[in-house]
Structures are given as structure tokens and as C-alpha cells.
Chains A and B, each alone.
Chain A
Amino acid sequence: MSRTTTAETTDVFGADSILRRLVGEARWGLAVTRATLLEAAHPQIGAALMENSTFLTHPWRRLRNTATSSRRILSPDPRVRDREVARLNRLHARMSGTDAQGRPYDATDPEARAWVAATLFESTVAMCRLSGETLDAGEMRRLYDEYRIFLTLIDGDNEHLPATLQEFWPYYDHVVENRLENNDAVGVILYRLLANVPAPPALRGHPLVWTVGRAVAGPLATAVIIASLPEPFCRRVALPDLPGARTLMQGAYLTAGLATRYLPESWTRVDSVMGLLDPSSATPWDTVRRKAGQAAALLRLITPAPAADDQQVVLSADRFFSEVLDQTGDGYLRWPDLAAMAREVATRLDLGEQDEERLFQAYAAWWRELQAALDGDDDGRVTRQEYAAAAASLPGAGLIKIADVLFDVTDVDDDQKIDAQEYRDLFRTAFGRDLAGDGSYSRGAFVRQFVSFMSGQEHSEAYSTLLTQA
């Protein structure tokens, strides 16, 4: 499939795209989770995930960004699609290096990218099969072709993914049996991510409910994922085969399939479910969420307030470090942490190449400044202790630069003010009460607030949500 002039102006996936339909359904999350595990077992992808990704500390944000990104790439509008592809490529171009064993990895590696498309295709097929919906030969071929188009859009070509479905299955089996490995990323996803997944934004208010629910659902989810993986992979990676796990897995997929078929469509759309998890967006779940919000408010009001709570306006340097700065959750502040912040802002604001580059440059300058000031032992990372010891005397020039760029890219109409809409685009919430009286933000106030938040001097609900939302 080549990108011709016609392809530029028309919907390359076709109006009746199977992929577009499936990606819009919440159950596609099952396929994505399964595919992520198979991707992680690929040495290149596993290394890139471990070194750069924030999926462990911010899984919900990652899931939402993946859903948004897929939807944009599958958009019938070529401008939306091309913009997202370019953004994704810039994002991946920044992810390369060597893993813990000294092997080089590169997120733009064509073979690894073909494997991503392959796992997504195979997991989508598995999802349909297990949820009782059979794709006939024609549909499966069409779905495969759509994935090849997907890969072509991102990679420029699709040489590394076999041309036909017949050739695909031997290729897939070969990679599973010979190329995949039991690496850190697989272990982290199966045993750490699911056991420690932080509460989605909507449930932040009730840590107890979340912890108890997770203690039950975490191991079940692990069992469901393992039971759905290809047998040769389980053998190779020595995954446990628990009694009853297959039945549980089939039950889970079948339930998802039946729900998609029989519940109102608006309930099972991926955006509805994501909306339920993230209270800052509007969906058909509004009533349910409002009731849940009221229950949560009542619970908070009747729970005795800790006496110290009265004074807790400023985050301690230590908490600020783990909640805001350490985006990858490895206990250190490194460049990937700062890059993750820049990436989140760039994704939210859907920045163009130039603005994105400016933002990354600003973050890079701050990183150099932090390293010079805080990295006492010169090992390329700042430890919690190094940060806590010097937090109060942090240099400010780099931060001011970031705030300046952030202001410029948020202020899309260049009127030197952040108005209500621009504020909402950045923080996904309406104006807070920390705003100037005339309903807009001046550059000075914006820079001041950003710098005092980022240096841990002043708490801000808006920035907390932007940078800590899991």
C-alpha cells in the first residue's frame, strides 16, 4: 500500500473500516493490554518501555493517550491523521539508547514497529474470537490490510510486516518462538503494574476502596492476561498455568463481547469508559459519576479530618519528588522523567513540530541546570536525597524558560493572555479560583505560579492534575 495523491485526500481506511469500529469499543482495551505484554517481550520494545515509558506510574494517562492517538491516526481527516503520525514519530525519535545489559534500542526501529502492529492485529483477532464474534476470512484479511496501512502511515513503509495474511501467521509464530524474551518489562507489567496500579482519577478520593478492589482484581487480571497468551510464549517465558484461569479468561472476554453487543452503544464506547475514569471530561456517564461524586464528597465530609491536614498546603520536597518529578517511578530523576512531562504537555495541546521542539529544548536546558546543581555524584541522575537536600535553593532560570515556552504554546491566539478555553486545553479543568479577577492569566502570573509549583514551593491543584494524573 503506497501513499498516493488519492490516499492523501481520501479516507485510507475506508468508511466501513473494521479497525476504526473496534478501536472505538471499550473491549479493545483487553486487546491492547495483551498486545502490550507481547510487545514488551520484544527486546527492543521492552528496553524502550523500561527506560522511557511512564506506563508504570501513570497507566491511566498512558491508556488515554494511546486511545486518543489511535483515534487520531484512524481519523478520516488526513490533516488530523498526518499531524498525529508526525507527532508520534517525533516522540519515538527521542527514545533511543542502551538497555541495562548494554544492548542498543531505538523506538523507531522498523522491525520493532512491525511487531507492534503484528501484536495488535493478532490480539484484535484473539479478542474477537474469544468474545464469541467470528471474523470470516474476508473480514480478517481486511483487518490485516488495515493494520498494514496503519504501519505504513507511521513508518513510511511496511516491508517488515508480511504482505499477506497467509505469510503473517508463520512470521508471528517465528517471532514468538525465537525472538521474544522474559525481560524486566514483562515481569513489571504482569506482577508490578497490575498489583500496584494507581487509582484512576475518578477514584482518587477513596484509596481504601481502590486498594481492596485492586487486591482482588489485580491477580485476576494477571491470570486473565496470561491465560489469553499464545501457548509457545507462556512456555518460553515460563508463565504459570493456574487452574480455572482459562475459564475465567473466556468468561471475561465473553462478558466484554456480550456487553458490546447488548448494552447501549454509548456505554461501551472507549470514550465513555475513559470518561468514567477521568472526571474532567463530559460523557453519558455524567449522572452515574455525579452520584458517585456525591457519595465520595459525603464520605470525605464524614471522615474525621486529620489535625495536620489544616496546614498542609505545601507538598514536602520528598512527596513532590515522587508525585511530580519522578514520572517513570524508578526513584531517580533522569532526563526521561523531564521528557515525559514535556511529552504530556505536547500531547495535550497537540503541539506542532516547532512548538514541541521549543518545549523539549526548554526542558533539556532545565535538566542541564538541575544536573549541574543537584547531581552531586555525577551519575546522570538525581536521587531523592540529592533533590531533597537542595530543593530550597534550586536554580530558577531554566524553569522560567519552560514557563515562558509553556505560556507561548498555550496562548494560541497570541493575545498575551491565557483565556478560559486555553486554560481548559492545558489543564482539562475550568478556570480555578487561583485566577486573576478578569478571567484570564497574564504572562507574569502564569510564570510565577508555574515556577513556585515546579520548585515545590506552592501547591497548585491544576498543575498537580496535569503532571501527576495517573
Chain B
Amino acid sequence: MLLPRHVACVMDGNGRWAAQRSLPRTAGHEAAEAAVMDVIEAARSAGVTWLSLYAFSTENWRRPAAEVDILMRLVRRAIRKHAPALHARGVRCRFLGMADPRIPQPLVRDITDLMTLTGDNRRMTLTVAFDHGGRRDIVAAARSLIRSATPADQVTEDSFAQHLPYSDTPDVDLVIRTSGEQRISNFMLWQVAYAEWVFPQVLWPDFRATHFWECLDTYRRRQRRFGDVRQSTTLTGEGHR
């Protein structure tokens, strides 16, 4: 009952995980796959209906080309490997961002296929932020709003949100950022406005269902006020902005 409707994960710590084991950074990305699948399943079985994962930011293109290249291959391999299972479990997959022409064509095709395949599923919506930037989404919404020629005095928070990519996505209730880092990093800026944040110390490749449940537990114990001082609530953020 006191379950967050929308949980988002900033999957941090792959590089450090690999460095601790004297492995190349890419080994960390490789190990992250198991954590991703574990969290998807944990969220789904816990009854979370919206899960978002921050996989690749617009800033990540600055990483060494070889690392980016391997990362793209890993994503493609993971998609092909897990697509039937995700579909069978009723997960609708979406990719947020995806604007850069540097994303390899075969990966784009597989991502499109995955979105087509799972488009009718409703049990849980998994949004993978890939080549994503929160500010860019807001700019895109502003452009779309200007193009729609809405008079300035008719622009409200709700009407603005309608122009964001995947505008049916509800506000994020809980953000989990692993590895102890405490930054927003340009992630779904509009949607995290009222989110609760938790910062477990565990590195993402080691993050498992139990850690996820702990985070849900922390969320349940938080008092969400949405800016109000008179009453406090531990309900989900539904209906609030």
C-alpha cells in the first residue's frame, strides 16, 4: 500500500567495482547486467508499476571511444538475451533519449524491436534512459510548446509536462543512487522534483533484490510532505506535483 509507484535507479559504481578487482572498467559494465535483471524482477514482483534506469547520459559520450563502443555492444547483447523474458513477464520497455546518431544502427533496430514487441504490455513500464539528459528533455518540451503556439498565460506545469517525451510517465517517487554518490547528474529533472532519494553505499554490480527491498523500506519510513508543514504523509506522490 505504501509502495512507490515510480522508482528510478541511477546505476553508479561500475568503474569502481572493476577497479577494486583490478579489472578493466568494461568488466564493471558487464557485471551490471545481472543487477539490472535482478532489480527489474524485484520491482515487478513487489508491485512497482514504473521503473526507470539511468543507463547512459548525454555526458557519457565523453568517455573513451573504446569504452563507449563496448558499452553499446553490451547493451545490444543484453537486449537480445532478455527480450523474450521481459515480454513474457509483461514488462513494457521504453527508451528515453536516443537522439544521438552515434548510437550504432543495429542497436537502434534492436531497441525499436524491443519497444515494438513489448508495446502492449502493462504490468510494469521499464524506462531505460539511454543517451538521456534531463535538461535536454525540458528544452525539447519547450520547443514543442512554442511550436504548438500555446499563449504564454495558458502554460501551466501540467500543460508543460504534456510536451515532455513519454508524457504519460508519472512523477518519480523514489530515486536510488548506488555507490554513495549524492548528485542528480541531469537525470529526469522534471520528474524527480518531489522524489525521495536514497544513497546506498553498495556499488551497482553488487546491487541485488535485497538492497532494492531495503530501499523500499527506507522509502516507507520517510515522511513525505510535498512542501506542506501542517500535515505529513507517507503516501505515494500520486496527485501531487
Contact = CB atoms under 8 A, between A and B. Distances in A.
A290 B116 CA distance: 8
Interface in A431-449: 433-434, 437-439
A450 B106 CA distance: 21
How many B residues are at the interface, by size bracket? 20 to 34
B31 interface: no
B105 A293 contact: no
Contacts of B119: 290, 294
Interface in B42-79: 73, 76, 79
B147 interface: yes
A433 B143 contact: no
A167 interface: no
B99 A437 contact: yes
Contact of A301 (B80, B101, B140): B80
A216 interface: no
A71 to B, nearest CB: 31
B217 interface: no
B98 interface: yes
A312 B106 CA distance: 8
Interface string A384-407: 000000000000000000000000
A298 B80 CA distance: 9
A293 B114 CA distance: 11
A459 B117 CA distance: 25
Contact of A439 (B101, B109, B114, B147): B147
Given A313-B105, A433-B101, A302 B116 contact: no
B115 to A, nearest CB: 8
Contacts of A16: none
Contacts of B98: 433
Given A297-B117, A310-B73, A310-B106, A437 B83 contact: no
Interface in B77-98: 79-80, 83-84, 87, 98
Given A293-B116, A313-B104, A298 B87 contact: yes
B83 A309 contact: no
A301 B84 contact: yes
Contacts of A300: 109-110, 113
Interface string A298-320: 10111001000110110000000
A141 B147 CA distance: 55
A289 to B, nearest CB: 11
A302 B81 CA distance: 8
A433 to B, nearest CB: 6
Contact of B104 (A290, A310, A437): A310
B126 to A, nearest CB: 16
A131 B104 CA distance: 51
B120 interface: yes
A46 B110 CA distance: 44
Contacts of B84: 298, 301-302
A301 B110 contact: yes
B2 interface: no
B155 interface: no
B108 interface: yes
B106 A305 contact: yes
A444 to B, nearest CB: 16
Contacts of B87: 298
B100 to A, nearest CB: 8
A391 to B, nearest CB: 20
A301 B113 contact: yes
A301 B79 CA distance: 8
Contacts of A438: 143
A434 B101 contact: yes
Contacts of B110: 300-301, 305
Contacts of A302: 80, 83-84
A313 B107 CA distance: 11
Nearest to B146: A438
Contact of B106 (A293, A294, A309, A434): A309
Contacts of A305: 76, 80, 106, 110
Contact of B114 (A290, A301, A459): A301
15 contacts: A294-B119, A298-B83, A298-B117, A300-B109, A300-B113, A301-B117, A302-B84, A305-B110, A309-B106, A312-B106, A313-B104, A433-B101, A437-B99, A437-B143, A438-B143
Given A297-B117, A298-B83, A302-B80, 18 more contacts: A290-B119, A297-B114, A298-B117, A301-B79, A301-B80, A301-B113, A301-B114, A305-B76, A305-B106, A310-B76, A312-B105, A313-B104, A433-B98, A433-B99, A433-B101, A433-B108, A437-B140, A439-B147
The 3 closest A-B pairs by CB, nearest first: A297-B113, A297-B117, A297-B116
